[in-house]
């Protein structure tokens, strides 16, 4: 797969209603089709340094080379905190990395603080760092498992052949 490593490649938007978010992005923004993951639950999550069960719904699509992710939180998470604080728009940007531990060390050296982390059942490891500045800025770093890499490539391919109408891709 042609995943771009070690560069920002995703904008993630937290939404109150994922179906409405998908409709907006396909109908108004001209992005699609979206792949809607089954409801996600991570038993071994971490939130602000403490163990946490993280639950949310997520959908992804590509606008050219840029991945658009929509997240609908379902319980305590940085996503729910963003919505509860009145946040709208991009909640975080993301990059894929080959060496998660090394990427974490680089973000920590720049003043980043880990605010959320999880390991997916497929082996993908994902961490979210809040970076310093006037307005907190969150970066997600993901070391993705081969199974997820294949899914991302399928979503990207579907966007290249998109009919401009279909909201959700099969499968």
The whole-number pLDDT of residue 1 equals: 43
- The series of mean pLDDT values per 10 residues for the chain, 171 residues long, is 75 96 96 95 96 97 95 97 92 93 94 96 93 88 86 90 88 59
107: domain CATH number? 3.10.180.10
User: Is 64 within a domain?
Assistant: yes
User: Is 169 within a domain?
Assistant: no
User: Could you tell me the pTM of the whole model?
Assistant: 0.94
* Residue 138 structural domain: 8-160
User: Is 113 within a domain?
Assistant: yes
User: Is 41 within a domain?
Assistant: yes
The whole-number pLDDT of residue 170 equals: 67
The whole-number pLDDT of residue 48 equals: 98
Structural domains of the chain, count: 1
User: Is 168 within a domain?
Assistant: no
Angle at 4 between CA 112 and CA 89, to 5 degrees: 55
User: Is 27 within a domain?
Assistant: yes
């Amino acid at each position: 797969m042609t995943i771009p490593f070690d560069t920002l490649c995703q904008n993630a938007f937290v939404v109150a209603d994922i179906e409405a978010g998908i409709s907006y992005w396909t109908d108004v923004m001209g992005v699609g089709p979206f792949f809607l993951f089954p409801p996600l639950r991570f038993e071994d999550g971490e939130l602000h340094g403490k163990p946490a069960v993280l639950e949310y719904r997520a959908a992804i699509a590509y606008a050219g080379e840029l991945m658009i992710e929509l997240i609908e939180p379902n319980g305590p998470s940085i996503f729910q905190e963003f919505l509860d604080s009145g946040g709208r728009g991009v909640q975080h940007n993301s990059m894929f990395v080959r060496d998660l531990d090394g990427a974490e060390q680089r973000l920590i050296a720049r003043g980043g603080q880990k605010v959320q982390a999880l390991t997916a059942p497929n082996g993908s490891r994902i961490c979210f760092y809040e970076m310093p500045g006037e307005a907190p800025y969150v970066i997600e770093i993901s070391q993705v498992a081969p199974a997820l890499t294949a899914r991302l490539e399928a979503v990207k391919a579907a966007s290249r052949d998109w009919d401009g109408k279909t909201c959700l891709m099969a499968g």
